[in-house]
Amino acid sequence: MAELICKDLALGYENQVLVQGLNFEVNKGNYLCIVGENGTGKSTLMRTLLHLQKPMSGTVELGDGLTATEIGYLPQQTLVQRDFPASVREVVLSGCQARMGRRPFYSREEKKLAADNMARMGVSDLAGRCYRELSGGQQQRVLLARALCATERMLLLDEPVAGLDPKVTSEMYRLISKLNEEGISIIMISHDIAAAVHYASHILHIGTEIFFGTTEAYRKSPIGRRYLYDEEEKA
């Protein structure tokens, strides 16, 4: 059974519909890229998958034993105010908040998990630094470590490489692929269509037309061809 199944999902705000008729599923170990133009509702979809907002109609079901609190999330922008005093260690540790439940303090295992995930993302030496004072790429890796503390199964990433330079971008992609190879399902929003078709196993294209299928099928589909061709044209 799939880990995540969306049936006939319609998204929007108030009485304005953004997209409707979304049907897709994510199986264990899949790497799904969500592509589409600005403002088509990609972030809205992700927020719906996380139950941060209600769909206008349709359902989001979790299966294969996955529970809502086992999904790690990397937001598009973390609206952390300037000057927020938070060390990297504190930020990563806050990824364990679901595991902590009602206990008031983090256990030794949770602290170890945070340390392990910092090592995994290569930010161990930044542990004592102030989160706000890191570069964009370092911040993203810290947030990824936090998301990993929340899950061993599924990561939702909203434009994880936005604003990163090409070198850091490809490092980030490699990190994400590595996590995927370790068995974590990935759902990633990206505007980098070339990278999307390179890394992803499945593509969900949102716009006036909707496409869902494997990357291979996407390359061959009219909509995929058009989109990929446009990108090459620009390049």
Partner 1 sequence: MIAQIAEYMAYPFVRYAVIVGVLIALCSSLLGVTLVLKRFSFIGDGLSHVAFGAMAVSTVLNLTDDMLLVLPITVICAVLLLWTGQNTRIRGDAAIAMISVGALAIGYLLMNIFSTSTNLSGDVCSTLFGSTSMLTLRLSEVWLCIILSIIVVAAFIFFYHKIFAVTFDENFARAVGTRVNTYNLIIAVIIAVIIVLAMNLVGSLLVSALIIFPALSAMRLYRSFLSVTICSAILSVICTLAGMLLSILYGTPVGATIVAVDILAFLIFTAIGKAAGRE
Ligand X SMILES: Nc1ncnc2c1ncn2[C@@H]1O[C@H](COP(=O)(O)OP(=O)(O)OP(=O)(O)O)[C@@H](O)[C@H]1O
CA–CA separation, 208 and 201 (whole Å): 23
Contacting residue, 20, 25, 27, 43, with Mg ion by CB under 5 A: 43
The answer to whether 106 touches 90, Cβ cutoff 8 Å, is no
Contact call for residue 18 and ligand X (CB under 6 A) = yes
Number of residues in contact with ligand X, rule: CB under 6 A?
10
Please give the DSSP secondary-structure letter assigned to residue 104.
S
Q: How many residues bind Mg ion (CB under 5 A)?
A: 2
Distance CA 91, CA 150 (A): 12
Nearer to ligand X, 43 or 124 (CB): 43
Q: Collect contacts of 206-211 with beta carbons under 8 A, ≥24 apart.
A: 206/19, 206/22, 206/34, 206/35, 206/36, 206/40, 206/41, 206/42, 206/45, 207/36, 207/37, 207/40, 210/19, 210/21, 210/22
38 binds, among partner 1, ligand X, Mg ion, none (CB under 5 to 8 A by kind): ligand X
Tell me the HSE value of 150 on the side-chain side, using a 13 A CA sphere: 23
For Mg ion, the closer of residues 43 and 57 by Cβ is 43
Examine residue 205 and tell whether it contacts ligand X (CB under 6 A): no
- Could you tell me the smallest distance in angstroms from the CB atom of residue 13 to partner 1? 11
Stretch binding ligand X (CB under 6 A), from 33-41, 94-102, 120-128, 140-148: 33-41
Q: Are 27 and 187 in contact (CB under 8 A)?
A: no
Task: Give the nearest distance from C-beta 40 to ligand X in angstroms.
Answer: 5
* Binding of residue 44 to ligand X (CB under 6 A): yes
E strand intervals along 50-121 = 57-62, 71-74
Q: Does residue 38 touch ligand X according to CB under 6 A?
A: yes
Among positions 43, 97, 124, 177, the unique one binding ligand X when judged by CB under 6 A: 43
C-alpha distance from residue 22 to each of 5, 9, 33, 83 (Å): 10, 5, 14, 40
Nearer to partner 1, 36 or 72 (CB): 72
Yes or no: say if 3 and 26 are a contact pair by the CB < 8 Å rule: yes
Candidate ranges 37-45, 87-95, 131-139, 178-186; the one touching ligand X (CB under 6 A): 37-45
Structure tokens at 15: 């009485």
Binding residues for partner 1 (CB under 8 A): 50-52, 68-69, 71-73, 75, 78, 80-81, 83-87, 89-91, 93-95, 97-98, 100, 104-106, 128-130, 133, 146, 150
CB of 138 to Mg ion, least distance (A): 22
Question: Which residues contact ligand X by CB under 6 A?
Answer: 13, 18, 38-44, 76
